Structure 1
Amino acid sequence: MDPVTAAAAAGVALVVKGALESAGQEAGRVGWSGGARLVERIRARFRGDADAEQALDRVTGAPDDESAHQTLERLLAAHMLLDPEFEAEIRRLVDEAVAAQGKDGAQITAALIKNAHVFNGKVEVQGDWKTS
C-alpha cells in the first residue's frame, strides 16, 4: 500500500472511530480532540466538492457502511495527491490523534486488513489463566 493510501485509510479509520464514539456519547474522551480536528480539516478541504462532502457525511452518519469508507478513502487520497501541503497536514493530524489515544495507557492501533478497518486495544489479563 502506498503512503498516501495508507494515510487516507488511517484518516478514514479515525473518522469512523470518532463517529462511533460520538454515537456512544464518548466524543469527549481524551485523544478525540485530535480526531475532531482531523474531521474538521477534511470537511474544510472538501468544501465545494459535493461528492466529497457527501462521502464524509455518509461515514459520519453511518460509520458501519463499508462502501462509504471506501468512497471516502478514495476521495481523501485524491485530495491528498492534489495538494502536498494537505497531505502533510493529514499525516500530522493522524499521527497526533493516534498518539493522543495512547496517553491514558491504552494504545489503539488501526490496521487495514483487506477492506476492513480493525482497531486493536490493549488487553490485560489478571489472575489464573490457563490455555490449551
Structure 2
Amino acid sequence: MDPITAVAVAGVALVVKGALETTGQEAGRVGWGGGVRLVERVRARFRGDTEAEGALDQVQQSPGDTAAQEELQRMLLAYMIRDRDFEAEIRQTVDEAVAARGGQGQVNAAVIKNAQVFNEKVEIQGDWNIS
C-alpha cells in the first residue's frame, strides 16, 4: 500500500472511530478531539460534491458499513491526489492522532474489518477466538 492510500485508510478509520464514539458504541473510551476537526475539514473540502458528501454522511450514519467505508476512502484518496495541501492536512491530522495515543497506533478490527493495516508490532491481550 502506498503512503497516500495508507493516509486515506487511516483518515477513514478516524471518521469511523468518531462516529462510533458519537453513537456511544465505544462509550467510556478516551477520545481524541481531532476527529471532529478531521470530519469538519473533510466536509468543507467535499462541499458541493453530493457524491462525496453522501459518502461521508453514510459512514457517519453507519460506521460499520464496509462498503460505505471503502467509498469514503476512494473519495478521500481522489481529493488528496488532486490537492496536495489537503493531503498534507489529512496526513498531519492522522499523525496527531497517533501522537495523542503516545506515538502508538491502535488497531480496532471491528472498525477497519478488511482494510490492510501496517503495524510495527502487534500485541494481543485477552481471549482469542477464531471462528
Normalised to the residue count of structure 2, the TM-score between the two structures is 0.77
The residue aligned with 1:16 is 16
- Bigger Rg over Cα: 1
The residue aligned with 1:43 is 43
How far residue 90 of structure 1 moved from its aligned partner, in angstroms, is 0.3
Consecutive unaligned residues in structure 2, runs of 5 or more: 127-131
Distance 2:55 2:33 in 1: 22
Query: Quick one: which of 80, 103, 109 aligns to 2:106?
Result: 109
The 5 Å alignment of 1:83-122 reads 83-100=83-100, 102-103=101-102, 107-110=104-107, 115-116=114-115
How far residue 83 of structure 1 moved from its aligned partner, in angstroms, is 0.4
Answer whether contact 1:34 1:93 (CA < 8 A) is retained. yes
RMSD: 3.1
Distance 1:43 1:123 in 2: 35
The residue aligned with 2:5 is 5
Answer whether contact 2:21 2:27 (CA < 8 A) is retained. yes
Identity %: 63
Distance 2:28 2:89 in 1: 23
Structure having the larger proportion of residues in strand: 1
- What number of residue pairs does the alignment pair up? 120
Consecutive unaligned residues in structure 1, runs of 5 or more: 126-132
More displaced 10-residue stretch of structure 1: 22-31 or 88-97: 22-31
More displaced 10-residue stretch of structure 1: 21-30 or 76-85: 21-30
The residue aligned with 1:129 is none
AA partner of residue 16 (structure 1)? V
How far residue 27 of structure 1 moved from its aligned partner, in angstroms, is 7.7
